Amino acid sequence: MSSDPLEVLHFSAPALLEAAEQFGTPCYVTALAELDRRAAALRRAFPDPWIRQYSLKANPLPALVERLAKDGMGANVVSAGEWAAAAQAGLPNRLISFEGIGKTDAELRAAVAAAAVGEPLRWVTVESGSEMRVLEEAARSARLGESEHFLDVLLRLNPAVTPETRSEFQVGSKTSKFGMPEPELRELVQASVSRPSGLRVRGIHIHVGSQLMGTQAWAEGALKACQLLAEMSHLSGDLDTVDVGGGFPSTESPSPTDFRESLDQHLDEAHVALPRWVAIEPGRYLVASAGWLVTRVLHVRERPSLPQVVIDASMSELIRPALYGAIHPLFALTTAAGLPVATEVEGAVCESTDTFGIHDLPPLRRGDLLVLATTGAYASSMFSSYNGRPRPPEVLLQPDNTLTLARPRTPFAP
């Protein structure tokens, strides 16, 4: 089935109406058939022995992580909370990688402690020399180097490329706060070889950006990482891994296959081979198009310019429009008869920036149901309880169109 929101809505509308009836609004709904379809497309583009890891920051709901694990996905986490969500989904540490610019000393010590008892994470990605020193100190305190246990480490390279995406998502640019320049990374590799500590530096991690609308910068960054790893391979026999990150868009194009073909072309032209282990870590690509946010009309107002409706969803449940100016397709599930007209759609919290843009909608009344599409990524994961709002329920739309409650509505707790 196509992932075009309007086409999918034709099949999903009865279930979305039922979700509103059973669980109230606003309500997150995830279509598992679309989730499976995206995972299968990813697997075709990056088959074994590629390591495929789902980036939980897009949506850490354990039920989704568990479903993607059945589709051959490990987990990529950026905090102890996401690590706990992956564990709750049943993933062992060996299928979980830990990265992120905000890792605390306690989180680094926890990663070392897990390795010390023989349950190491797949790897930990280090962002800087100072972070590496904290990790080394924790490893020495745990006497990790004196045992048969190790903790594998990747070093995050800032590839200094210009990703084909909006500026807020260009994390691989030269001025980004993420990763380290090549000279610092080289120094850390050399230092790790001379100071054994139970940490094994296995390779390089990059992530150039999100919602990439082109493949060039992604492939350039991956090529830089592979070239650098090959140049340093004489320093240690452990250097055998590159994680090329994610960034695949929620749209159908460019597809994962487009990214893979671009990478292969860059490698061929530079006469560079992939290392023994290579990984990807998509998030948005897998879950965005599978998500729906069902909402109800609260107010209908006639305005001199355009009619206006206020809905019971808000920037608390979907912050992307307020944060980035993102536009999510919006459709009416119930309505009065009449032709669609351009309508301003506003959110329910006390902020003028809480708006969902202008959409062509038929005449609406208080109580009518609407649905925002492609909300599976960075909606529930960025939920805010501002204005004392309860956390909406999260519902799974099974392939047979039945509904399963994955997380109930959670009241606001002051």
Q: Which residue has the tokens 């530079």?
A: 270
Q: What is the pLDDT at residue 1?
A: 47
Q: pLDDT tens-digit profile of 184-214?
A: 999 999 888 767 678 999 999 999 887 888 8
Q: Are 154 and 232 in contact (CB under 8 A)?
A: no
Residues in the chain: 414
The CA dihedral of 398, 402, 407, 409, to the nearest 10 degrees, is 140
Nearest one of 328, 392, 316 to 356, comparing CA atoms: 328
Q: pLDDT tens-digit profile of 1-51?
A: 455 676 667 678 999 999 999 999 999 999 999 999 999 999 999 999 999
DSSP 3-state assignment of 225?
Answer: helix
Q: Which residue has the tokens 């069902």?
A: 294
Q: What is the pLDDT at residue 211?
A: 85
Q: Which amino acid is it at 154?
A: L
Q: Which amino acid is it at 67?
A: R
Among 237, 350, 400, 414, the active-site one is 350
Beta strand pairing call for 151-156 and 123-126: parallel
- How far apart (Å, rounded) are the C-alpha atoms in residues 38 and 50? 16
Q: Which domains does the chain have, with CATH numbers?
A: 5-12+16-27+288-407 (2.40.37.10), 92-282 (3.20.20.10)
DSSP 118: T
Query: Catalytic site residue 350?
Result: yes
Residues in a beta bridge with 405: 395
Residues in a beta bridge with 75: 54, 96
Q: pLDDT tens-digit profile of 144-177?
A: 978 789 999 999 999 877 777 667 666 666 777 8
- How far apart (Å, rounded) are the C-alpha atoms in residues 108 and 116? 13
